[in-house]
Amino acid sequence: MRLNNIALVAALVFGITSCSEAQQKASKPNPYYTHKGSSKMNLPDSEWKKVLPENTYNILRNKQTEAPGTGQYLHNDAAGTYYCAACGNPLFKSDGKFESGCGWPSFYQPFNDSSIITSVDKSHGMVRTEIMCGRCHGHIGHVFDDGPAPTGQRYCTNGGALHFEGAVKK
């Protein structure tokens, strides 16, 4: 039932917003993207709008959902780390990724305790748990309790909210 609801919401959102087919360039480079420092950020959306590509901005700041099966990293099985596409905060490791079949990149655990914060989301007639970047509070997706062991959690993400960097081979 839950997956059906997710698909329905995605269809509704997809129906009223056009899907960006290509990453559109932001108007200036993003100076806020860094893997150093963990201090919270509280930037106005107007500033994020200048430095994020449009589809990334729409997900992270407007809480849009990309259409299932379309997001980047859905089938990426390379070793590495997934960072917040806005601020560079580490969100997930490739070790915590799994194929959920739901159409979005899915993880069973976050990178660490400060990677993700959650909030109750009552939009679209459902009660879900929204997941946001613990540093910039950008919208990442939702978490559900139908994931695999050992956590039983399914962190269902928008690929456009993530930036993957592969592990350096030694």
Taking the complex as a whole, the smallest distance from the CB of residue 99 to Zn ion amounts, in Å, to 25
- Binders of Zn ion among 30-59, rule CB under 5 A? none
**Contact flag: residue 138 with Zn ion (CB under 5 A):** yes
Stretch that binds Zn ion, among 51-59, 65-73, 101-109, 138-146 (CB under 5 A): 138-146
Q: Using DSSP, how many helices (H) and how many strands (E) does the chain show?
A: 3, 9
CA 139 to CA 162: how far, in whole Å?
10
Determine how many CB atoms are found less than 10 A away from the CB of residue 28: 8
Among 72, 81, 89, 106, indicate the residue that binds Zn ion (CB under 5 A). Answer: 89
Judged by CB under 5 A, the number of residues near Zn ion is: 8
Taking the complex as a whole, the smallest distance from the CB of residue 105 to Zn ion amounts, in Å, to 16
Q: Is 156 a catalytic residue?
A: yes
Indicate the residue among 135 and 154 with the shorter CB distance to Zn ion.
135
- Active-site residue (options: 87, 102, 136, 156): 156
CA 121 to CA 142: how far, in whole Å?
9
Torsion (CA) 65, 67, 73, 74 in degrees, nearest 10: 120
Question: Quick one: CA dihedral 76, 84, 68, 117, positive or negative?
Answer: positive
Phi-psi region of 162 (alpha: psi -120 to 50; beta: other; left: phi over 0): beta
**Contact flag: residue 156 with Zn ion (CB under 5 A):** no
**Contact flag: residue 133 with Zn ion (CB under 5 A):** yes
Stretch that binds Zn ion, among 94-102, 103-111, 133-141, 153-161 (CB under 5 A): 133-141
Chain contacts with Zn ion (rule: CB under 5 A): 84, 86-87, 89, 133, 135-136, 138
